[in-house]
Chains A and B, each alone.
Chain A
């Protein structure tokens, strides 16, 4: 799952950076960048961190 988290996090960045080439509308770019940020946050907070928390020292 950690690897999935890394991929999802990076995908959010790719989406945001690609927004400038996909559309020339400022609003469209804004929407894509916000979605990209949310995807990256999901990758870190929703996938990667929980994957590491499974083996957290305080659970042992």
Chain B
């Protein structure tokens, strides 16, 4: 009798789980269903279907009443094996009198799915936030000790300044029209995109909801989105401080960074990620899946890189960087140890940057986070190797700072394609990135006569663009994030796998970065230069920016070497 009763309960538990599983699948399939895949209209039922399969059993509230739950005395005795924790007893009940009902179970499934995605996105966002620490010590280590306080403070406050600008207006411009996202349970309040009509199609230009996170955007899903997107924006801003270090007036840095966080970054991010015109190039003009930038080689790194290029041109090189004949002097940083430590911190943070960009870990193809993470680490490794060997072969020593930059270059380059390519392509992308970084540093310094203290133009600008292009080349068509990307059914596929249109969409993104974002950044900073001034005086620069600009040395107990006499 007891065995029979146990069998009966087990049968009901199995039925309940099957039912929930079916419901989950049905929900996911609905979310994933590509628009152009209607069911055949008149599919006749199989003529000789077995009777048992024809009538699915329905479970009712009564069926789950008998699901076994641990007794209070069992729970009180502790659960070292973890076998009686997390049972039906832990499902919140809507109506205490009625007890556990099917609706409670189904709600718990939905909550768990969204909770998984919330936690994943938030935790990866926290990792990205920590990248600020990595950037701070990389840039400070590559600057001279006399400017360490100033460089560190720029990196420290770019977080707050950027966040303020982004909260006030930037987030609304970027995401205000993105619409509901399935992974976060819907961000429906972000529902208004300003668009114009060009060539017979709608071109989304900027979002209009979410100013100061007010009104309907006071929403749990929107908050997750804000946190994650905010730390990305700050990454772009901190790239510029590396290039302009050791001569940028602190007050000018504050104003310039505020404008970048409020307008420059959000505009391009809207076009690429917020439902703007670059994202819809696929749906509107048949160019692959539109501009595809999984985690931001273009949106984050190239925007930072081309803005850094604009600043380098505007602000000019440090005193002593170039001799009278235009050949460069090396100005070594003061601490290569913290530079490489910073690179490690950045590589760690990148596991938030790329895998987190799924905005979820459950459903909608998000299990691909494992592939994204592996691609990320492989490309970083490949970048550090190729940069190191390039320098070793060319100069006879495996230069430490370039090896660190090679790692970052590989990571920057894989950021856009990480969600669309396979491990072999990731290694190729990383190998190219490392060498490209070294070549670009030489080109920027020797041919353009620009002074980029940390190599940010090459690491983030050049390799960000390489990352964007590599999506159009290497995307293998195997990814599936809810059955569509940018509203176009199917997987993102590059030229090497048969879709030239995707490459064209990527190149339009590159043209926008070079032609629009650069120009916008340049004009903004040119105006700032005219009305406020961007550069400290020669006296301040030679003395070091720590005392004149910040009022304190970074290392007050150190004896700083006098300024070397650079070759003229």
Listed in ascending order, the chain A residues whose CB lies under 8 Å from chain B are 2, 6, 9-21, 24, 26-27, 29-30, 33-34, 36-37, 39-41, 43-45, 48-49, 52-53, 56-59
Contact = CB atoms under 8 A, between A and B. Distances in A.
A52 B316 CA distance: 8
Interface stretch (B233-241, B248-256, B376-384, B499-507): B499-507
Contacts of A52: 313-314, 316
Contacts of A39: 515
Contacts of B526: 2
B518 A58 contact: no
B515 A12 contact: yes
Interface of B: 198-200, 281, 284-287, 309, 313-314, 316-317, 319, 321-324, 326, 448-450, 500-501, 503-504, 507-508, 510-512, 514-516, 518-519, 522-523, 526
Which DSSP category, helix, strand, loop or mixed, fits chain B's interface? helix
Nearest to A30: B504
B287 to A, nearest CB: 7
Contacts of A58: 317, 321-324, 326, 449
B313 A49 contact: yes
Given A26-B504, A33-B504, A57-B316, 4 more contacts: A10-B515, A13-B519, A37-B514, A53-B449
Contacts of A56: 316-317, 322, 449
A9 B514 contact: yes
B314 A29 contact: no
B388 to A, nearest CB: 28
Contacts of A17: 508, 511-512
Given A9-B519, A58-B324, A33 B319 contact: no
A37 B500 CA distance: 17
Contacts of B519: 6, 9-10, 13
B450 A49 contact: yes
Contacts of B323: 58
B251 to A, nearest CB: 21
A37 B518 CA distance: 12
A44 to B, nearest CB: 6
B503 A30 contact: yes
Given A29-B287, A57-B317, A44 B514 contact: yes
B510 A37 contact: yes
Contacts of B449: 49, 53, 56, 58
A13 B511 contact: yes
Contacts of A15: 511
Contact of A40 (B199, B500, B508, B515): B515
A21 B514 contact: no
B281 A30 contact: no
A13 B523 CA distance: 15
Contacts of B448: 45, 49
Contacts of B198: 21
12 contacts: A15-B511, A20-B281, A20-B287, A20-B508, A33-B504, A33-B507, A37-B515, A41-B514, A44-B313, A49-B449, A58-B317, A59-B324
